[in-house]
Amino acid sequence: MLPETLLVSAPGKVILHGEHAVVHGKVALAEALNLRTFLRMRPHKDGKVRLVLPNLETSREWDVSKLQLLHASFLDSGEPTAPTTEQVEKLKAFAGFMTGSSERECLAVLAFLYLYLFICRKHRPLPSMDIVVWSELPTGAGLGSSAAYSVCLAAALLASCEEIMNRLKEGATSARWNEDELNLINRWAFLGEKVIHGNPSGVDNSVSTWGGALRFQKGNISSLQRIPVLKILLTNTKVPRSTKALVASVKDRLAKFPEIMNPLLVSIDAISQECERVLGVMAATPTPEQYMVLEELIDMNQHHLNAIGVGHSSLDRLCQVTAAHGLHSKLTGAGGGGCGFTLLRPGLDQSVVEAIKQALTSCGFECWETTIGGPGVSLHSEASLKANVLQALNSL
């Protein structure tokens, strides 16, 4: 075990273009969102493992000796490729989740137990530690909150067990891991996502691990090497929706109207690829004309998403409010409510942004002024974290 406290963070994600079309083999572009999940790990020797999740109002504690028995009962197999139903049910019984607990709390705790037992399995006895995880990301909004959680857990556990290096040098405020270490973090985080979601695509944990922007098509994920950091206004309409139901509705409409839907999906694919091209040439010196192209692509894709049936009146209202101030918005994620983003051009007067935020708040929405395209999972010094983050992480 490492002697010092570990502070780790990982970003959420925004889908720029390609949602729903990606299910049908088209290109999707996703970027790291500068709303992050933060983790503090303190190793100790009191024979306890404590997990505190302030966002879920959850606090759990286990004896290492009991975790050791659970570990011996079914985790002495080889390298895991996916959690089995039997393993998840045993973890659920061990954690006492038969009745009376929220699904989000249950899944978050199960993901932690799974990653802790497997990543730390070579240690005898298993390590004692306190972990607090707090997030700026709303849960269930399609912004990759569970992936950021899994990435933070994987990185911290791997570092504490010295599977990856603690690369934060004395006096530095933050640090990143190398490519091999990031690959290892991502692989374990994907297993955590499988505990939570069953059959995730791998996009969310990949964006959270590497940051920047990723291109996703037919199961292949690749990084966009040179992209600008874009400023956005992110809006949560707070309208609940079912991703599964929305995906199914697009599939049904495709079967019913193939000659209409197929061209729409092809057009969404072309929008994604044009956005990828423009982002590539914007990295050095972005121009107003390039921002105008991005705005046109946002408008076109939002109309397409309405046409394929995943729009919502709340998202229409978001687009109307921002358009009244000359800005451009689209949904991000499944649609049917959920979240949307608005591109903020360089040099935009802050009074315009504040007016939009006030108007959207009056609609009952929640807004964040933030950026996309920033770093993935990172180590931090305590001095580099904001006061509200430190306050939340000091809740243990």
Are 229 and 373 contacting, i.e. CB atoms less than 8 angstroms apart?
yes
Instruction: Give the span between the Cα atoms of 266 and 226, in whole angstroms.
Output: 25
> What angle in degrees, to the nearest 10, is found between the helix axes of 313-323 and 288-307?
160
Distant-in-sequence, close-in-space partners of 50: CB < 8 Å, separation ≥ 6:
59, 60, 61, 129, 130, 131, 396
Spatial CA neighbour of 202 closest among 212, 213, 216, 223:
216
Catalytic residues: 146, 204
Helix (H, G, I), strand (E, B) or coil at 373: coil
Ranges of H-type helices in 6-84: 64-74
Ranges of H-type helices in the chain: 64-74, 85-95, 103-119, 145-160, 179-197, 203-210, 243-256, 258-282, 288-307, 313-323, 350-362, 387-393
